[in-house]
Structure 1
Amino acid sequence: MIQQLRRRLAPYYEQFFSFWPMGFSPFPTNVMFELLYGCNLNCTYCYLRIEETVKKIKTRPMLLTDQVLKIIDQIPSLTSLSFSGGEIMLHKDIIKILTHAKKNHRVGIISNLTLNTPWHNRQLINLKLDTLMTSLDGYNAQIHDKGRGKGNFAKTINNLKDIQAQKQKLNSPFPTLTINSMILPHNLDQMTKMVKLASDLHINWLNFQLIDPSIDRSGYDLHDDLSHLKGDNRQHLPKINKIKLKNSLTNTLNLAHNLGLKVTFSPQLSTPDILTYYSGKIDLNQIYCHRVFHLTRISPYGDLYPCFNYKIGSLLDASFMTLWNSKKYRLFRQQIKKGALKAQCVGCCHLKLK
């Protein structure tokens, strides 16, 4: 109930914060904290692996656990924290970090759920983790494991089942569970099967993610300016048969409605707009963004950055709120509000159209 209310109020937060003058923002409502970039999987399409290959990223020392905890304490309590990776369950102090974060914040995680044991799942429930998102590339092992490695579908499904069983045993609503699945040219006929799978697992949300062709959205390779952001992301989207996609979307939404399953899309576009998106014909003049006023990211190295890989500053050198309303961040917000970089915004999971 609370999560549904927050989702409904989110657009009003966005508008309210964007009205603040000179690019200022009172506080972020959401912070995505990337704890590490290491992962136990080696998915062929992972943007982090692509960045490693394309940009030849050099390894940097990650934040120590004590540094992570100190940064968390600087973030306003009204801010929700989402922890991601890489695979966050590889972090040796992940439970300690989540427990500390839950003292004053609403907390969610993104995990592939292949490393969890029943003990890990019980800890997540006991600390009242608010949300947990995992990804499935298909409704069975044959499809999912093709890109993620043999046996990983079973591990993820078994952990989802274990979490649900332990939640029931402990009479706990925490965490709510979301399955994330990409919309790809070769899996359109699987979307309804994903709905059935999510329903059978009693998942709270099934989210379908549109493809993001950009590799300029992580903290892996941050830049001090925006000059590297060039080109038009629309030109790099895979083409999908419009009729087949429309039928799949319609059937998916109808089945989800009949089963009582909540289905969302990232970005939150209507069916006609999703069709336009995959045709590469999104009208840039229709794009607007208020998210830069209330959402930010932290890299495993302690760098604060917005939606693009644009370094605002280091949290090892300045406090969180100092960087949040620094001159550099405020100028960036003003640029985005005036319509800059719209061609590079295509692919963002927070893309908005008028």
Structure 2
Amino acid sequence: MDNNLEREYTKLEEKLGFYFGRLISYPLVPPEHVYFSLTTRCNLRCQMCDIFKSPTKIEDELSTPEIKDIILQIKNMRVRHLIFSGGEPLLRRDFFEIVEFATTNSIRDVDIITNGTLFDDYIIKKLLNLRLNHITISLDGLRETNDKIRGKGVFEKVVSNIDKLKHYKSKYGFSFPTLGINFTILDDNIDDLLPMIEFARGSGLNAILLQPVLFSNIKMYEKKRNVLWPSENSIFKLKKTTKKIISLKNTLKDFVICTDTDILKALSGYFMGKRPKINFGCYEAIKRIAINSEGKLWSCMGVYGDLKKKSLKENWCSSEAEKIRNEVKKCSEHCLQDCVYSSSDILYHVEKVLERLDRKVGLRNKEIEEKLLERVKHYIDILNEKYAYQRPLTNIRFKRELKKLYLIRDRLKKNQQN
């Protein structure tokens, strides 16, 4: 079996694990990402961010040895993607030591999220030598708009630093890290959405992520008192703009718009306080772990672990984590953050992979299929065990989900017999 197909099988196994792990509120596979906030300190005062108002004291932040120990725990949990953020992570004096430790300890993809203002030639060269996978730089519009949101002179400084990064990447022959922009959608910058996509692409960047500003969403819409929340006129413009963005997302070959199409479609409704009509299931505390600068595991539903008291795996598999996952499933907030996931993709993805296998009979890998079949049988056993303790009303859902697993199992068995 070719490498691409093998990777698809791995993704398929993960998707099944996430899907049914969410159903039983217990992780069946390692998380996809770990977001690690190294500090709450920041050198900017962005309009939509209040992290600088209550920064963690330096003495309360995790020490370098503590962070290194956590990185090793992340590695041992077989997490492949680690994202360092802040605050502004470069404000930590040990930043390079920490990131280098992560990249040299077999964590496959290590990214950083930064405001991009603290770069100089020395820092850029050090960043390139860290073997990072991706650098995300926050920009919220073109010059005038961005500087209104992030501070005077920030746009010019960041763009200059991006140019330096690209220059040194080219000069020393680095293909990585890839470079992208994180854009927070506010009332002030909706007119800049399309121009920023073109700017990023024209500047030789690789990607852009568009995220709506996060408040207590429907409450914010009802109160209509915050200048950051889009007005009705802005929402009308956004609806038109997102159609064009979706078209670009589907046609651009040399640039990635990372935001999911379903999220783009739901943006205008989100800002109007409407629940998305799409089949979203939130995978917070299943697909990702978020660690703050004090070593606490946290989610939108609250803190559920402390790495100064228990190991990462103990916290991740704890009863406190299970409570958080149950709360997440009951959540009624109007949320469109990137931890949501369209659950309807599961069976489609299964069928897609298996159909490709049917077309490549000579390249099929029976060992991998058998492994996946055993995993599916394992999930069936777990669901049957959980099913026995569910209330009658909930049993209907479990029966439906079990039926999906039986279909996958039977398809895999058929493949084994061919």
Quick one: structure 1 residues 289 and 10, their matched pair in 2 at CA, closer, same or farther if it must change by over 3 Å?
farther
Report the RMSD for the aligned CA atoms in angstroms: 3.0
Quick one: structure 1 residues 286 and 252, their matched pair in 2 at CA, closer, same or farther if it must change by over 3 Å?
closer
Gaps of 5+ in 1: 216-230
Q: Which letter maps to 1:321?
A: K
- The yes-or-no answer on 1:318 pairing with 2:310 is yes
- The 5-angstrom pairing of residues 58-69 of structure 1 reads 59=57, 61-69=60-68
- The yes-or-no answer on 1:275 pairing with 2:264 is no
Per the alignment, residue 100 of structure 1 pairs with 101
Looking at structure 2, the residues matched to 19 and 258 of structure 1 have their Cα atoms a distance apart, in angstroms, of 34
Per the alignment, residue 71 of structure 1 pairs with 70
Per-residue deviation, residues 63-115 of structure 1 (Å, max 9, x unmatched): 11111111111113531111111101111011100000112212110001101
Determine helix, strand or coil for the equivalent of 2:82: strand
Per the alignment, residue 380 of structure 2 pairs with none
- The yes-or-no answer on 1:342 pairing with 2:332 is yes
Quick one: structure 1 residues 287 and 249, their matched pair in 2 at CA, closer, same or farther if it must change by over 3 Å?
closer
Determine helix, strand or coil for the equivalent of 2:290: strand
1:234 positional shift? 6.3
Looking at structure 1, the residues matched to 288 and 311 of structure 2 have their Cα atoms a distance apart, in angstroms, of 17
Which of the numbers 157, 173, 182 marks the counterpart of 1:155? 157
Which of the numbers 291, 299, 314 marks the counterpart of 1:298? 291
- The 5-angstrom pairing of residues 1-80 of structure 1 reads 13-20=14-21, 21=24, 23-49=26-52, 52=53, 59=57, 61-76=60-75, 78-79=78-79, 80=81
Which of the numbers 244, 252, 263 marks the counterpart of 1:251? 244
Quick one: structure 1 residues 309 and 116, their matched pair in 2 at CA, closer, same or farther if it must change by over 3 Å?
farther
Determine helix, strand or coil for the equivalent of 1:95: helix
Identity, in percent, stands at 27
- The yes-or-no answer on 1:264 pairing with 2:258 is yes
Quick one: structure 1 residues 11 and 186, their matched pair in 2 at CA, closer, same or farther if it must change by over 3 Å?
farther
Quick one: structure 1 residues 347 and 304, their matched pair in 2 at CA, closer, same or farther if it must change by over 3 Å?
same
Quick one: structure 1 residues 331 and 317, their matched pair in 2 at CA, closer, same or farther if it must change by over 3 Å?
same
- The yes-or-no answer on 1:118 pairing with 2:121 is yes
Looking at structure 2, the residues matched to 8 and 171 of structure 1 have their Cα atoms a distance apart, in angstroms, of 33
1:294 positional shift? 2.4
Quick one: structure 1 residues 91 and 9, their matched pair in 2 at CA, closer, same or farther if it must change by over 3 Å?
same
Looking at structure 2, the residues matched to 322 and 39 of structure 1 have their Cα atoms a distance apart, in angstroms, of 31
Q: Which letter maps to 1:300?
A: S
Looking at structure 2, the residues matched to 111 and 209 of structure 1 have their Cα atoms a distance apart, in angstroms, of 16
Looking at structure 1, the residues matched to 29 and 172 of structure 2 have their Cα atoms a distance apart, in angstroms, of 38
Determine helix, strand or coil for the equivalent of 2:302: coil
Quick one: structure 1 residues 117 and 180, their matched pair in 2 at CA, closer, same or farther if it must change by over 3 Å?
same
Per-residue deviation, residues 326-345 of structure 1 (Å, max 9, x unmatched): 11112322443xx31222x6
Looking at structure 2, the residues matched to 46 and 286 of structure 1 have their Cα atoms a distance apart, in angstroms, of 29
Looking at structure 2, the residues matched to 155 and 348 of structure 1 have their Cα atoms a distance apart, in angstroms, of 28
1:352 positional shift? 4.0
Gaps of 5+ in 2: 224-228, 345-418
Per the alignment, residue 369 of structure 2 pairs with none
Q: 195-204 vs 58-67, which deviates more?
A: 58-67
Looking at structure 2, the residues matched to 66 and 258 of structure 1 have their Cα atoms a distance apart, in angstroms, of 44
Normalising by the residue count of structure 1, what TM-score does the alignment of the two structures yield?
0.81
Quick one: structure 1 residues 12 and 247, their matched pair in 2 at CA, closer, same or farther if it must change by over 3 Å?
farther
Looking at structure 1, the residues matched to 55 and 248 of structure 2 have their Cα atoms a distance apart, in angstroms, of 43
